[in-house]
């Protein structure tokens, strides 16, 4: 089968072995895959991962393994990317995304979905209706990451909330917050990106418009910039005893100044993957439209063009068709 493999370099292999189904798994035929920043970071050495890339997908179940209901066959699905052992203390508490024995689709010890066929445990997959098209469905995973914040932090009706960063991560969070009727301001550097946020209900503000009185005025600030500078701006906006949610893995090369965190007794919450169910519901009810984030759709043969496009400045989401 065709597979996009990273092994020191990214290449399209045409004779990769089709995966063999294990009990409790489904075999998925890929329809569309989104390129994530994590995929790009892997090609720069992140996690030391070698194998098939990709974790944001929509596909159709082709066959099922032992113990799996045959009703799944031919269902159009999306899927959670963390594959847990189901047998440790975290799994027993329903915290599969923190299972220490987990593998992660296309990121850690499990081939990803940038290929014609891949497998996932049946408990990871969710059927989606025809009401959600392929392009929209590939956003389920990044949108779920935005929803995760709402599971972790209690945002009260009168809380003052900001999202900092207007890349695809910040935009996904903003679309989820708007759909959930949260009152917040989305702060970024690019008027044209903030426009996507604004059109779906967010209040927006350019970084250059921040005033002195905005400093230390927010109860909750979500950092989605991925940069040291963005972290420092975000931290400076949080009220004493407020909460700073870190959504991007800042691989700080220079030192991070954490004095604000200590002086203002700020609570830091790290936030990663979220649950799919609430997002599928929001997409089904047309409460979120992620399509304005799409900057290109390529066929897998043109993967080089797709990854090149993805690394261009200002480009949001690039999708790859199978």
**Which residues of this chain interact with Zn ion, rule CB under 5 A?**
36, 38, 84-85, 88, 91, 99
| Shortest distance (Å) from residue 169 CB to Zn ion | 9
Q: Compute CA distances 109 → 52, 106, 146, 187, 268, whole Å.
A: 10, 8, 25, 36, 29
For Zn ion, which is the closer residue by CB, 38 or 248?
A: 38
Q: Compute CA distances 116 → 27, 181, 301, whole Å.
A: 10, 38, 12
For Zn ion, which is the closer residue by CB, 76 or 102?
A: 102
For Zn ion, which is the closer residue by CB, 5 or 91?
A: 91
For Zn ion, which is the closer residue by CB, 76 or 317?
A: 317
For Zn ion, which is the closer residue by CB, 102 or 160?
A: 102
| Shortest distance (Å) from residue 156 CB to Zn ion | 29
| Shortest distance (Å) from residue 318 CB to Zn ion | 12
Q: Nearest Cα to 312, choosing from 167, 176, 137?
A: 167
For Zn ion, which is the closer residue by CB, 38 or 104?
A: 38
| Shortest distance (Å) from residue 55 CB to Zn ion | 6
Query: How far does CA 73 lie from the centroid of its chain?
Result: 26
User: What sign does the dihedral 3-4-10-14 (CA atoms) show?
Assistant: positive
- CA angle 18/23/29 to nearest 5° reads 35
| Shortest distance (Å) from residue 242 CB to Zn ion | 28
Query: Read out DSSP for 59-75?
Result: EEEEEE-TTS-GGGTT-
Query: Per-residue b/e over 204-214, b at no fewer than 16 CB within 10 Å?
Result: bbebeebeeeb
Query: Read out DSSP for 262-301?
Result: HHTTPEEEE-----SHHHHHHHHTT----GGGEEEEEEGG
| Shortest distance (Å) from residue 142 CB to Zn ion | 6
């Amino acid at each position: 089968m065709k597979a996009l493999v990273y092994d020191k370099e990214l290449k399209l292999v045409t004779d990769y072995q089709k995966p063999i189904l294990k009990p409790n798994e489904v075999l998925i035929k890929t329809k569309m895959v989104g390129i994530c920043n994590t995929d790009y970071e892997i090609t720069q050495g992140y996690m030391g991962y070698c194998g098939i890339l990709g974790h944001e997908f929509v596909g159709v179940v082709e066959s099922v393994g032992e113990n799996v209901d045959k009703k799944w066959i031919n269902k159009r699905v999306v899927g959670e990317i963390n594959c847990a052992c189901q047998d440790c203390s975290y799994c027993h508490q329903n915290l599969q995304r923190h299972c220490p024995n987990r593998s992660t689709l296309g990121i850690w010890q499990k081939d990803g979905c940038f290929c014609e066929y891949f497998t996932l445990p049946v408990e990871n997959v969710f059927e989606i209706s025809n009401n959600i098209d392929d392009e929209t469905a590939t956003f389920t995973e990044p949108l779920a990451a935005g929803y995760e914040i709402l599971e972790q932090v209690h945002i009260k009706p009168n809380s003052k909330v900001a999202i900092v960063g207007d890349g695809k991560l910040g935009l996904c969070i903003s679309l989820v917050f708007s759909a959930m009727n949260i009152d917040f301001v989305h702060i970024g550097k690019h008027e044209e990106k903030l426009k996507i946020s604004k059109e779906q209900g967010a209040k927006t503000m350019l970084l250059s418009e921040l005033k002195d009185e905005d400093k230390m005025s927010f109860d909750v600030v979500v950092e989605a910039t991925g940069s040291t500078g963005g972290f420092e701006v975000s931290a400076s906006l949080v009220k004493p005893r407020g909460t700073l949610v870190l959504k991007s893995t800042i691989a700080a090369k220079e030192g991070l100044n954490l004095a604000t965190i200590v002086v203002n007794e700020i609570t830091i919450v790290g936030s990663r993957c979220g649950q799919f169910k609430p997002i599928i519901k929001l997409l089904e009810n047309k409460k979120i439209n992620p399509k304005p984030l799409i900057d290109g759709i390529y066929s897998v043969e043109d993967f080089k063009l797709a990854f090149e496009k993805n690394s261009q400045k200002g480009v949001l989401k690039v999708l790859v068709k199978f």
